[in-house]
């Protein structure tokens, strides 16, 4: 008996030692990931078999204050908020207050889309599956970047002016605007703001004691990140970027402790710590069933054969296991939330810089360890990949500005101020002013006052817009269309580099001279 007990203690000791070694290796990987991708701070959490097995913060929450990042540090989880929006709708469905296939007009009678047929038939489920026909990020300039003046009601109204890029219910094109409309459905049914509903009906029952439904509601909390974005190749602190109007698409502030608690709840069949079901089995199936498929690369690292969107999460298979995942991104912060339900595994990564390569390095390494995949050195893979990608981005930008400098010397070809200055209007975005200030030209956007910058001559009919806020990394061409008298009648925008975030939805602007 003593021999058996001693052997059991030996095995237990070896197990603890191995766990400590693995934890140390993960600590080192995270520290190296911060350095490789110039991320000031990161927090990581792992849930396995109903227990939180890892919950730590690394680096600093702000380059300005140098205060450490820990597992209590609040981060804007961005589009990982979409899962909460869909769970909120599932709660209302369980209460008999809505049906997934209800027409949106039942709750928002004034709601219209560009196509009258779609207006009459778009459902609640269509709003949250990225299949309503709007293109990637279409309309995001109504709330992005932060500081815009349009209200939720303005955005709901202006959807009717967004000409769809795809036929209704045929294509998965990621879109935030429809989630804002879904948040308004929750508000109209419940009488609560979206943030109030999320805090009262989800966060409180789940035990997310430190989280908030919006950035403004978290302002009194001292332990939260500053956002950071690369400017001239080096991360700097930048203002928080998220409009209150878009909370249903990405407004939640949370931390690793609470997000791993959220993961625990979902992996435990949506059961809260007091044993109550947050959502019925019927609606869990809705949330985690494929609603709209998307393409899968023929060769991929996880032998994935299906991929698409459920209700609030991307769904796929990885090495034969179903994966439920979402990412989130704001200017200056990105996050990743991954569940593999049959392994009872959850991995959460929150950062205060906008490097998706950083969170993929951590998530894929941890995921591989539980899938039994040999170490593939994701840090080197993503590090090498980003070095090449960033070089390509820099080349695109350098070529554009070099051409602008060359053209500037050809003064006889430059358009005169009276040909193109004035006020232009896009029906869903609002007024855009182009003015002359001394020898320079400026652009400013009425409904998005932080979106302003200088116009640099580029060709006979175009300029480069160099935005004042260099953290945007979204400089764009503005191309004017002239009439027979050489007067500009309209203008369109196009990003100069592929680095530009899709939420800078320049391509969908149709600016008409007033």
To the nearest whole percent, how much of the chain has pLDDT over 70?
95
Q: State whether 261 and 133 are in the same domain.
A: yes
To the nearest whole percent, how much of the chain has pLDDT over 90?
91
Q: State whether 148 and 195 are in the same domain.
A: yes
In a domain, 316, yes or no: yes
Q: State whether 317 and 403 are in the same domain.
A: no
Q: State whether 329 and 441 are in the same domain.
A: no
Q: State whether 262 and 406 are in the same domain.
A: no
pLDDT surpasses 70 at 503: yes
Q: What is the mean pLDDT of residues 247-269?
A: 98
pLDDT surpasses 50 at 17: no
Q: Reduce the DSSP state of residue 236 to 3 states and report it.
A: strand
CATH of the domain at 466: 2.40.128.50
In a domain, 28, yes or no: no
Question: What angle (nearest 5°) sits at the alpha carbon of residue 212, between those of residues 208 and 217?
Answer: 155
In a domain, 353, yes or no: yes
Task: For residues 325 and 377, give the distance between their C-alpha atoms in angstroms, rounded to a whole number.
Answer: 21
In a domain, 457, yes or no: yes
pLDDT in tens, 293-344: 999 998 999 999 999 999 999 999 999 999 999 999 999 999 999 999 999 9
Q: Considering the chain, what is the average pLDDT of its residues?
A: 94
**Total residues found in the chain within this entry:** 514
The predicted structure's pLDDT at residue 411: 66
pLDDT surpasses 50 at 9: no
pLDDT surpasses 60 at 15: no
Cα–Cα distances in angstroms (integers) from residue 431 to residues 154, 394, 472, 510, in the given order: 14, 31, 21, 11
Cα–Cα distances in angstroms (integers) from residue 60 to residues 26, 73, 213, 229, in the given order: 18, 10, 24, 14
pLDDT surpasses 50 at 14: no
pLDDT in tens, 370-407: 999 999 999 999 999 999 999 999 999 999 999 999 99
pLDDT in tens, 420-456: 999 999 999 999 999 999 999 999 999 999 999 999 9
Task: For residues 494 and 511, give the distance between their C-alpha atoms in angstroms, rounded to a whole number.
Answer: 12
Q: State whether 44 and 131 are in the same domain.
A: yes
Contact 237, 227 (CB under 8 A): yes
CATH of the domain at 186: 3.40.710.10
Number of domains within the chain: 2
State which residues form the domain around 333: 37-376
pLDDT in tens, 132-142: 999 999 999 99
In a domain, 1, yes or no: no
pTM listed for this prediction = 0.94
Q: State whether 366 and 421 are in the same domain.
A: no
The predicted structure's pLDDT at residue 240: 82
The predicted structure's pLDDT at residue 276: 94
Task: For residues 372 and 49, give the distance between their C-alpha atoms in angstroms, rounded to a whole number.
Answer: 16
């Amino acid at each position: 008996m003593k021999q058996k007990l001693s052997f059991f203690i030996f095995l237990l000791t070896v197990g603890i030692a191995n766990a400590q070694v693995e934890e140390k290796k993960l600590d080192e990987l995270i520290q190296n990931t911060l350095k490789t991708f110039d991320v000031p701070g990161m927090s990581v959490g792992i849930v396995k078999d109903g227990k939180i097995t890892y919950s730590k913060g690394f680096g600093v929450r702000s380059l300005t204050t140098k205060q450490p990042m820990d597992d209590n540090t609040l981060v804007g989880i961005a589009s990982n908020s979409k899962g909460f929006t869909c769970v909120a709708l599932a709660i209302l469905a369980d209460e008999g207050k809505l049906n997934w296939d209800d027409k949106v007009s039942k709750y928002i009678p004034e709601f219209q889309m560009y196509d009258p047929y779609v207006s009459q038939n778009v459902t609640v489920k269509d709003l949250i599956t990225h299949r309503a026909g709007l293109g990637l990020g279409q309309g995001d300039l109504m709330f992005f970047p932060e500081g815009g003046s349009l209200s939720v009601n303005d955005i709901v109204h202006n959807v009717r002016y967004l000409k769809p890029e795809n036929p209704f219910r045929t294509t998965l094109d990621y879109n935030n605007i429809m989630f804002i409309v879904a948040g308004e459905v929750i508000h109209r049914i419940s009488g609560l703001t979206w943030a109030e509903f999320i805090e009262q009906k989800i966060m409180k029952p789940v035990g997310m004691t430190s989280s908030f439904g919006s950035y403004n509601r978290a302002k009194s909390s001292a332990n939260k990140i500053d956002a950071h974005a690369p400017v001239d190749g080096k991360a700097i602190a930048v203002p928080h970027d998220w409009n209150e109007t878009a909370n249903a698409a990405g407004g939640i502030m949370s931390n690793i402790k609470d997000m791993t608690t959220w993961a625990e709840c979902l992996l435990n069949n949506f059961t809260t710590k007091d044993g109550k079901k947050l959502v019925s089995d019927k609606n869990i199936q809705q949330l985690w069933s494929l609603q709209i498929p998307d393409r899968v690369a023929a060769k991929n690292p996880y032998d994935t054969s299906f991929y698409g969107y459920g209700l609030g999460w991307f769904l796929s298979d990885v090495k034969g296991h179903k994966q439920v995942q979402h990412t989130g991104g704001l200017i200056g912060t990105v996050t990743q939330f991954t569940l593999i339900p049959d392994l009872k595994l959850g991995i959460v990564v929150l950062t205060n810089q906008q490097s998706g390569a950083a969170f993929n390095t951590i998530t894929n390494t941890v995921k591989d360890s539980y899938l039994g995949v040999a170490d593939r050195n994701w840090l080197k893979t993503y590090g090498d990949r980003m070095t090449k990608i960033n070089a390509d981005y820099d080349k695109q930008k350098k070529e554009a500005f070099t051409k602008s400098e060359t053209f500037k010397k050809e003064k006889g070809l430059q358009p005169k101020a009276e040909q193109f200055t004035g006020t232009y209007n896009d029906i869903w975005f609002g007024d855009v002013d182009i003015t002359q200030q001394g020898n320079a030209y400026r652009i400013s956007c009425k409904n998005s006052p932080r979106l302003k910058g200088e116009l640099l001559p580029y060709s006979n009919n175009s300029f480069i817009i160099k935005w004042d806020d260099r953290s945007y990394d979204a400089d764009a061409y503005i191309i004017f269309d002239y009439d027979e008298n050489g007067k500009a009648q309209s203008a369109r925008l196009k990003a100069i580099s592929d680095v530009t975030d899709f939420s800078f939805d320049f391509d969908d602007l149709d600016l008409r001279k007033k």
